[in-house]
């Protein structure tokens, strides 16, 4: 198993999960990696571990750097099971080590792994605490809600390397280890999907963290996230940091995403007419039929379009089930600063469009009046859909400009 030098004496010793396609409820079509980092200093230090079952792959890489029994410290930046699931197994292999984590992480580890944690040498650290490894010094920065209450970043001062766990990650399995090896556009597409599906609700916290990094004057020459590839060129680092700044402010290009489903093609016909209206105004439009699209892709579309429209038929006086699933996902992700709207068709009785409209308003978005038609839309109805699309496009162009 190949290790990979991130920078100086900091080594990537993680594991590649080529096959995961469902990551706690959303799709990961490109798999992922679980990244752990070994710092080979006087105190041999492992930062983060991997998902249960991937420990042997991680330790095979660690073995290429050092004797397993010589590991002194383990930093636990985040306790979600994709990073903590192999800790107990690891300790069985390497023997007791001194562990460092946030207060909330220490509480959470006990809840996740029970009384065995009482045998672990857990040491709580807070923002500003430092740990000397010999040549290198670790500086800890608590990062609550990025994306769990326990989350923490570790900064290696002398190497100018940030290890922010889930921050700046991507679900991307690859035999390449750096963004510049894969290609920046491809990596940013995966970073956007990751941010949209995991970090979107925490824009305020991302803003605070970016400000804190600025206040602390941290120079960053490489970033080692816990998923995907690492960032090591100044251009790549500034691109992803600037993207996090824009995403957390909910900035997005003036384009419209249409997310819909259809029962007997009436809502689909409305969708095509609305799409026509939008593009007639020179505004870019992306269309996702929910039953044929990845849920993760629809959330990513909400992140990177200034407006999104949700089309639903009515079923049993309510929302169409897959549209309801999309709305549940989006409601949890709490988008802000978006123009939104509901439309669709119904048969004998309505209800679906009204429900989506109400949910969008409940999110505090700028919601356009809903549009709905009974049974199959007529030529006049479709003309109204086109005008609705043109109206949305004009608003998108004017909005925020």
Question: Please, what is the minimum distance in Å from the beta carbon of residue 170 to ligand FEO?
Answer: 11
Contact 10, 41 (CB under 8 A): no
Active site residue 275: no
Q: Point out the catalytic residue in the list 147, 195, 268, 305.
A: 147
Q: Which is nearer to ligand FEO, 148 or 153 (CB)?
A: 148
> What does each C-alpha distance from 230 to 65, 151, 225 come to in angstroms?
19, 19, 6
Q: Point out the catalytic residue in the list 166, 236, 381, 386.
A: 166
Give me the DSSP letters along 163-201: EEETTT------S--BHHHH-HHHHHHHHHHHIIIIIGG
Q: Which is nearer to ligand FEO, 80 or 261 (CB)?
A: 80
Contact 255, 305 (CB under 8 A): yes
Question: Please, what is the minimum distance in Å from the beta carbon of residue 80 to ligand FEO?
Answer: 4
Q: Point out the catalytic residue in the list 2, 24, 130, 369.
A: 24
Q: Which stretch of DSSP H or E encloses residue 361?
A: helix 352-362
Work out whether strand 137-142 and strand 130-132 pair parallel, antiparallel, or are unpaired.
antiparallel
Q: Which is nearer to ligand FEO, 84 or 312 (CB)?
A: 84
> What does each C-alpha distance from 117 to 87, 89, 100, 109, 121 come to in angstroms?
10, 12, 13, 7, 8
Give the binding site for ligand FEO (CB under 6 A).
Answer: 78, 80, 82-83, 147-148, 166, 226-227
d(CA 211, CA 125): 21
The full 3-state SS of 96-130, as one line of letters, equals CCEEEECHHHHHHHHHHHHHHHHHCEEEECCCCCE
Q: Point out the catalytic residue in the list 83, 227, 343, 388.
A: 227
Q: Point out the catalytic residue in the list 78, 83, 171, 305.
A: 78
d(CA 319, CA 249): 30
Active site residue 147: yes
Question: Please, what is the minimum distance in Å from the beta carbon of residue 367 to ligand FEO?
Answer: 31
Q: Which is nearer to ligand FEO, 78 or 255 (CB)?
A: 78
Question: Please, what is the minimum distance in Å from the beta carbon of residue 89 to ligand FEO?
Answer: 18
Active site residue 166: yes
Question: Please, what is the minimum distance in Å from the beta carbon of residue 35 to ligand FEO?
Answer: 9
Active site residue 171: no
Q: Point out the catalytic residue in the list 8, 9, 57, 80.
A: 80
Both tokens of residue 356?
């989506």
d(CA 357, CA 42): 60
Q: Which is nearer to ligand FEO, 147 or 239 (CB)?
A: 147
Question: Please, what is the minimum distance in Å from the beta carbon of residue 33 to ligand FEO?
Answer: 10
Q: By Cβ distance, which residue is nearest to ligand FEO?
A: 80
Residues labelled as active-site residues: 24, 78, 80, 82, 147, 166, 194, 227
């Amino acid at each position: 198993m190949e290790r990979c030098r991130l920078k100086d004496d900091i080594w990537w010793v993680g594991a590649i999960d080529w096959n995961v396609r469902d990551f706690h409820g959303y799709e990961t079509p490109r798999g992922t990696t679980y990244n752990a980092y070994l710092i080979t200093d006087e105190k041999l230090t492992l930062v983060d571990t991997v998902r249960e079952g991937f420990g042997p792959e991680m330790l095979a890489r660690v073995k290429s750097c050092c004797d397993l029994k010589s590991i002194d410290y383990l930093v636990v930046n985040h306790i979600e099971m994709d990073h903590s699931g192999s800790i107990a197994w690891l300790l069985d292999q390497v023997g007791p080590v001194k562990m460092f984590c946030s207060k909330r992480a220490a509480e959470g580890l006990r809840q996740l792994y029970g009384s065995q944690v009482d045998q672990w040498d857990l040491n709580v650290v807070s923002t500003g605490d430092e740990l000397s490894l010999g040549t290198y010094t670790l500086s800890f920065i608590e990062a609550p809600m990025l994306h769990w209450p326990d989350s923490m970043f570790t900064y290696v001062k002398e190497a100018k390397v940030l290890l922010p766990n889930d921050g700046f990650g991507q679900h991307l399995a690859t035999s390449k280890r750096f963004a510049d090896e894969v290609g920046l556009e491809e990596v940013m597409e995966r970073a956007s999907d990751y941010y949209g599906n995991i970090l979107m609700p925490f824009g305020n916290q991302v803003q605070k963290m970016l400000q804190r990094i600025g206040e602390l004057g941290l120079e960053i020459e490489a970033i080692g996230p816990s998923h995907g590839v690492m960032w090591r060129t100044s251009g790549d680092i500034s691109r992803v940091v600037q993207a996090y700044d824009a995403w957390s402010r909910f900035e997005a290009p003036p384009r419209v995403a249409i997310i819909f489903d259809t029962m007997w093609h009436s809502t689909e016909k409305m969708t095509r007419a609305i799409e026509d209206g939008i593009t007639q105004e020179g505004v870019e439009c992306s269309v996702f039929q929910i039953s044929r699209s990845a849920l993760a892709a629809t959330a990513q579309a909400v992140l990177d379009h200034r407006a999104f429209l949700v089309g639903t038929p009515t079923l049993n006086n309510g929302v169409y089930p897959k549209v309801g699933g999309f709305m549940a996902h989006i409601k949890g992700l709490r988008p802000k600063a978006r123009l939104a709207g509901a439309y669709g068709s119904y048969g004998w009785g309505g209800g679906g469009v009204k429900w989506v409209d109400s949910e969008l308003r409940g999110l505090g978005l700028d919601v356009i009046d809903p549009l709905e038609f009974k049974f199959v839309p007529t030529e006049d109805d479709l003309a109204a859909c086109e005008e609705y699309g043109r109206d949305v496009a004009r608003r998108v162009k004017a909005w925020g400009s």
